[in-house]
Structure 1
């Protein structure tokens, strides 16, 4: 059974490793990644954001962050599911929980940045209700696709 919980400090290593795994598989770690993954409390939570963790048998297998950009606008970032847990709808569950958390935080807009090589992720984002857009400045050299959802 999958349990969706809010981030707690004991999940910091899992948040880092789950994200490092997919970044290393497809890209290279960038300064923006390191800042966020090395200090999720300071970079995400203390600035008004949130992190969702998916647990399977009490073990973190998925995660997603909401980064507050300005009042009402949040970035969905650092969504990851462990290789062993992929194919079990964990990304869907984490995505839905993250969108609900954004609503609780008062978001009216959620955007994300991704890369066109991440086809399963992009398919998930469309299913969750995101649409392609242009216009946000990206801190990532790997970003070639932006998507947005109005709540």
Structure 2
């Protein structure tokens, strides 16, 4: 599946180059603002095995000319047609171009195409611009007991879902 728009082209992860960019983009912001947890390393280090093989996907946003990855977002599959929206990152120099908004919309479409009936995410109050994007896309805040998992990232102090 491929999404195209004027600023970037969005498609499913397809190469080791895409996987390396997914790791690097997320490692940068997580390490800068929080602590890279073991689960982060596991998922980021093996997106094909930990995400795609389990029925999820990683979408990457690329510059149309040189194919440089400037953003990414993951969909982690859970039982009962539930997906987690995770690991969204946009290269700082390209922020403000609407890439995050496009990634979220593409991920919602992809989750539906994969049969998803519920999409949830965890974020942090330090990421106010991301929270605004999620709210604009229709996500609403939920209490921790609404999560489909019991052991969830310590840094996630804002939990949201889209039914």
TM surpasses 0.5: yes
Q: Report the Cα offset of residue 138 of structure 1.
A: 4.1
What is the Cα deviation at residue 72 of structure 1? 1.3
Residue equivalent to 1:129 = 138
> In structure 1, the residue corresponding to 2:126 is in which secondary structure?
coil
What are the ranges of 5 or more consecutive residues in structure 1 without an aligned counterpart? Answer: none
* Aligned equivalents of 1:46, 1:90: Cα separation in 2: 26
> Which of residues 47, 50, 57 is equivalent to 1:43?
50
5+ unaligned residues in a row in structure 2: which ranges?
1-6
SS, match of residue 53 in structure 2: helix
**Matched residue SS, 1:74:** strand
Equivalent residue number for residue 31 of structure 2: 24
**SS of the counterpart of 2:116?**
coil
Q: TM-score, normalised by structure 1?
A: 0.96
Q: Does 1:78 align with 2:91?
A: no
Q: TM-score, normalised by structure 2?
A: 0.89
Name the count of aligned residue pairs. Answer: 150
Inter-partner Cα distance in structure 1 for 2:15 and 2:77: 19
Post-superposition Cα deviations, 1:34-89, rounded to whole Å, max 9, x if no partner, equal 01001111110110001110001310000000000112100000011010110000
Tell me the equivalent position of 1:92.
101
Distance 1:40 1:6 in 2: 11
Q: Distance in 1 between matches of 2:126 and 2:61?
A: 24
Does 1:33 pair with 2:40?
Answer: yes
Query: Does the residue aligned with 1:118 lie in a helix, a strand or coil?
Result: helix
